[in-house]
Amino acid sequence: MTLLHTRGLTAHYGDFQALFGVDLDLQEGECIAIIGANGAGKTTTLRSISGVLRNRPEAVVFDGEKIGHLPAADIMGRGLVMVPEGRRLFPSLSVEENLSIGTYGRKVSGYWNFDTVTALFPILRERRKSPATALSGGQQQMVAIGRALMSNPRVLLCDEISLGLAPVVIRDIYAAMPQIRESGASVVIVEQDISQALKVADRVYCLMEGRVTLTGRPTELNRDAIHAAYFGVSA
Amino acid sequence: MMWIDTLVQGVLLGGLYALFAAGLSLVFGIMRLVNLAHGDLIVLGAYVILIIVSALGLNPFLAALVALPIMFTIGWVLQRVVLNRVLGEDILPPLLVTFGLSVVIQNALMQGYSADSQRLRPGPIESASLDLGVVTVGVMPLLTFASAVVVIVALNQLFYRTALGRAFRATSDDPVTAQLMGIKPASVFAMATGIAMIVVTIAAMYLGMRANFDPTIGPARLIYAFEAVIIGGLGSLWGTLVGGVIIGVAQTVGAAINLEWQILAGHVAFLVVLAFRPRGLFPRAND
Ligand SMILES: Nc1ncnc2c1ncn2[C@@H]1O[C@H](COP(=O)(O)OP(=O)(O)O)[C@@H](O)[C@H]1O
Ligand SMILES: [Mg+2]
């Protein structure tokens, strides 16, 4: 069943058009990856889905409901939760408080809570009283993912969770992905690291200059096709 | 001896200024809104208490209790209907709107209650005093100061121990990400202004019992509140108490030297602190 789809998604920053009709489909339980060069429109796509940028109602459909026009807080309330680019932790909140903000003002039930999140990322339990921004980059990324998980999302939108992190740290973070998917969340990841994306995703969308230039399963895509879709020239 | 007395009176007076300032500090800390009508809202609060006193024949303390939910509601509605619409990147619209609100409140009170000065009369407690050996202090100033401490402790608890407080801090840190986490800034801000109005009501009660008031005295209270907030460091509640105390002590010391220097001494203290600590005594790390 299609859990989430976008149809003709557009986005503007002032006069500048960043997206030109992006169509995405996410099946229940699936993990899709959006890849593309810097400035391709990946973050803008996630912002449009999560309500930071508004659209026509029918441009984003979640669980059969048109949500393109809804404000971010309402979309989050429906279970589409973002791990934003650059982590965006709240500096005046401790690690524990950052995690708990994901449950503010709503009754949440499901697999994820403080205990299960800190079992997934044990270092967060140790450091739970520290200000979130006192942690290392990798640990901060764990907080950002944990904060989103605390609300028991139906769709987790991850924007470049490997950005700026050392390979071993990236490995640790992606090691959490199977358990996140087992908990029932469908996942959209945005990655510049193509090999990482091909490893975890069921399907891949390649974005270039605000348009989808290639889609398919990792096994169906060859390097040359991805290269062409990524940079707009053949290798 | 006389100096100790002057100092103590100043500290206690600082409690009143801290009460003026705490609501302003709270609102600024959460939404970066400088409410130029803050002093007039305090005066409005005093009139609301006065109305309840005369309508129900209550003591001002009880009348203030009745006024609390009314003032909370006024604040909540004001934020939802007016102030939320003008908050944004540009700081000028909220300044203009709250300036306008200040004029509107003053004129409305003038229409309704004329320029006559009014007073809240709490009864014998007004002139009661406590002999502490070294100094004799009035019960009312003592109660005012104690209330300021209680208010600041309570606001700190709210800020650092409750889910609403976390939402306040998160929204203040980063409103866009707060929305991504399901927080609605419009409702968080409405709660903040409602709570600020509870503090305003407590300040109004002590203001009205300490001295005469009339519809025009709001802006001067706003100045003291501003100075206390800025001395303390924007957004720091304990800093606001310290700021109030510094102004209070400066005023009583100034008055002890020469009665005409009272008000001036408070402003001078403000300027001196600002000259050495432009960000106030307890600035927030991430401002
Ligand atoms: N806030 C903004 N204002 C103006 N232009 C922006 C803004 N954010 C992104 N853009 C532009 O939109 C395009 C897509 O950006 P983005 O979605 O961030 O790309 P990606 O995440 O794929 O690197 C880029 O050309 C970028 O410069
Ligand atoms: Mg991006």
**ipTM computed for the complex:** 0.94
State whether B183 and A81 contact (CB < 8 Å): no
Q: What is the pLDDT of residue A62?
A: 97
Task: Give domain status of residue B85, yes or no.
Answer: yes
Q: What is the pLDDT of residue B51?
A: 97
The response to whether residue A39 sits with its C-beta less than 6 Å from ligand 1 reads yes
Task: Give domain status of residue B283, yes or no.
Answer: no
Residues in chain A: 235
Task: Give the span between the Cα atoms of B173 and B167, in whole angstroms.
Answer: 10
Task: Answer for the pair A144, A83: CB distance below 8 angstroms, yes or no.
Answer: yes
CATH number at residue B51: 1.10.3470
pLDDT class of A152 with cuts at 50, 70, 90: very high
pLDDT class of B277 with cuts at 50, 70, 90: very high
> Mean of the pLDDT values across residues B4-15?
95
Q: Encode pLDDT of B198-237 as tens digits.
A: 999 999 999 999 999 999 999 999 999 999 999 999 878 9
Question: Does B67 have pLDDT greater than 90?
Answer: yes
* A4 φ/ψ sector (left φ>0, alpha ψ -120 to 50, else beta): beta
Domain residue limits, chain A: 2-231
Question: Does B1 have pLDDT greater than 70?
Answer: no
Task: Give domain status of residue B16, yes or no.
Answer: yes
The neighbouring-strand residues paired with A19 are A11
| DSSP annotation string for B249-281 | HHHHHHHHH-GGGHHHHHHHHHHHHHHH-TT-S
d(CA B215, ligand 2 centre) in Å: 54
Which of B181, B191, B236 is the best substitution to test chain A (most A C-beta atoms within 10 A)?
A: B181
Question: Does A147 have pLDDT greater than 90?
Answer: yes
Q: What is the pLDDT of residue A109?
A: 87
Q: Encode pLDDT of B103-114 as tens digits.
A: 999 999 999 999
Task: Give domain status of residue B281, yes or no.
Answer: no
> Mean of the pLDDT values across residues A40-67?
96
Task: Give domain status of residue B285, yes or no.
Answer: no
Residues near B237 by Cβ (< 8 Å), separated by ≥ 6? B22, B25, B26, B29, B152, B155, B156, B159
Question: For the domain A2-231, what is the CATH code?
Answer: 3.40.50.300
Q: What is the pLDDT of residue A192?
A: 87
pLDDT averaged over chain A?
93
Q: What is the pLDDT of residue A126?
A: 95
Coil, helix or strand at residue A62: strand
Q: Name which residue leads in pLDDT, B131 or B77.
A: B77
Question: Does A45 have pLDDT greater than 80?
Answer: yes
Q: Encode pLDDT of B74-85 as tens digits.
A: 999 999 999 999
Question: Does B20 have pLDDT greater than 90?
Answer: yes
Cut 0.80: pTM above it? yes
Q: Encode pLDDT of A185-228 as tens digits.
A: 999 999 988 888 899 999 999 999 999 999 999 888 887 888 88
Which residue, chain included where needed, has tokens 């669980």? A63
Task: Give domain status of residue B287, yes or no.
Answer: no
> Mean of the pLDDT values across residues A78-91?
96
Instruction: Count CA atoms within 13 Å of residue B137 on its CB side.
Output: 22
pLDDT class of A102 with cuts at 50, 70, 90: confident
Query: How many C-beta atoms lie closer than 10 Å to residue B56's C-beta?
Result: 11
Q: Encode pLDDT of B162-202 as tens digits.
A: 999 999 999 999 999 999 999 999 999 999 999 999 999 99
The response to whether residue A91 sits with its C-beta less than 6 Å from ligand 1 reads no
Q: What domain range includes position B139?
A: 2-276
Please tell me the distance in Å from A200's CA to the nearest CA on chain B: 25
The response to whether residue A18 sits with its C-beta less than 6 Å from ligand 1 reads yes
Domains contained in chain B, number:
1
Nearest-CB residue to A151 (from B174, B182, B286):
B182
- Which one-letter DSSP state was computed for residue B134? S
> Which residues in B lie closer than 8 A to residue A97 (C-beta atoms)?
166, 169
